[in-house]
């Protein structure tokens, strides 16, 4: 009986959590297979995530490139419009002028010249004197007869009796009551 008990103790001492080595080998193999399946799933999902992100990044880069090209085109058009507006503003700031040669050739074609001419300008206009001087110079060089020997003269205010409404606001002059 002592030998049997010692065998039972020996057999019991080889068990771990109630399982023998063969049972533990089985569960080791099963857990390695499950771990391999999980590792494969992790690898596949990681690869899928990387590929999807790369494709999304490429699509976003392409969309950004198209947006940038269109925006650059719009910026270039806006810059061109700005340059044209600046040129128009500059032209508005410059004094009015005429093409003297073209005007002189047109004056030479008028025959016979008028009996006499006079060039007058509005003294309130900042560039009127310059423009009137150009016009007067073309007529003078074309030998048109004039009483003006010193160039154009500014207009004088009309006599008060010529414009009956000059001293009243126009609604009062027209009979409209306020």
For residues 147 and 118, is the Cβ–Cβ distance under 8 A?
yes
Strand residues in the chain grouped as ranges (E): 120-121, 153-154
Q: What mean pLDDT do residues 106-124 have?
A: 82
Average pLDDT over the chain, rounded to an integer: 81
CA distances from 51 to 45, 47, 84, 149, 172 (A): 10, 6, 49, 91, 84
- Tell me if residue 19 falls in helix, strand or coil: strand
CA distances from 53 to 21, 37, 44 (A): 47, 24, 14
pTM of the model: 0.41
Q: How far apart are CA 142 and CA 131, in angstroms?
A: 17
Structure tokens at 140: 């003078």
pLDDT at position 175: 57
- Tell me if residue 174 falls in helix, strand or coil: coil
127 falls in which pLDDT band (50, 70, 90)? confident
Q: Which of 151, 88, 143, 90 is nearest to 118 (CA)?
A: 151
pLDDT at position 165: 47
Structure tokens at 18: 């109630």
81 falls in which pLDDT band (50, 70, 90)? very high
State the residue for tokens 């391999």.
36
148 or 47, greater pLDDT: 47
Convert the pLDDT of each residue in 140-173 to its tens digit. Answer: 888 888 887 777 777 766 555 555 545 555 455 5
Q: What mean pLDDT do residues 88-104 have?
A: 82
Q: What mean pLDDT do residues 90-101 have?
A: 80
């Amino acid at each position: 009986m002592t030998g049997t008990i010692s065998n039972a103790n020996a057999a019991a001492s080889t068990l771990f959590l109630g399982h023998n080595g063969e049972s533990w080998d089985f569960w080791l193999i099963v857990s390695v297979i499950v771990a391999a399946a999980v590792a494969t799933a992790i690898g596949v999902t990681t690869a899928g995530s990387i590929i999807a992100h790369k494709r999304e990044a490429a699509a976003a880069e392409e969309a950004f490139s198209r947006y940038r090209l269109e925006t650059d085109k719009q910026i270039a058009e806006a810059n061109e419009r700005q340059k044209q507006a600046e040129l128009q503003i500059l032209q508005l700031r410059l004094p009015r002028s005429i093409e003297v040669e073209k005007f002189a050739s047109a004056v030479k074609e008028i025959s016979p010249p008028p009996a006499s001419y006079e060039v007058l300008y509005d003294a309130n206009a900042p560039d009127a004197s310059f423009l009137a001087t150009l016009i007067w110079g073309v007529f003078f060089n074309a030998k048109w007869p004039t009483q003006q020997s010193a160039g154009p003269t500014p207009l004088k205010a009309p006599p008060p009796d010529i414009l009956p409404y000059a001293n009243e606001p126009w609604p009062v002059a027209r009979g409209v009551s306020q």
